[in-house]
Amino acid sequence: MLDDRDQTFSTLQYADIGTWNRQSNQVGWTALLGKKKGTQGVSPYAAPSRAQDLSNLPPAFIDVSSTEIFRDED
């Protein structure tokens, strides 16, 4: 979970498919962020896709399936 806005292509494409679907994702983000979910007040520490600059972070490898809602989050 990187983006609380739930608007990526894969989030919409797999909205009702799989164990963790779009509704599950929205419940998770709401549990973490409450009323801030989807607003400009979300910290990049909570939703990393909100960060403007990631250049000082160490390298990371994150593997996702081609058929899951997290595929297009960056």
The answer on pLDDT for 21 being more than 80 is yes
Q: Is the pTM of this model over 0.75?
A: yes
Angle at 2 (CA atoms; ends 50, 71), nearest 5 degrees: 125
Angle at 19 (CA atoms; ends 13, 22), nearest 5 degrees: 40
Q: Which residue has the tokens 């609380």?
A: 4
Q: What is the CA radius of gyration of the chain?
A: 13
Q: Tell me the average pLDDT across 29-45.
A: 95
Q: Which residue has the tokens 């990393």?
A: 48
Per-chain mean pLDDT for the chain: 91
The answer on pLDDT for 43 being more than 90 is yes
**Dist CA 47 CA 33 (whole Å):** 9
Q: Tell me the average pLDDT across 56-60.
A: 90
Q: In terms of Cα–Cα distance, which of 34, 35, 15 is closest to 25?
A: 15
Q: Tell me the average pLDDT across 41-68.
A: 91
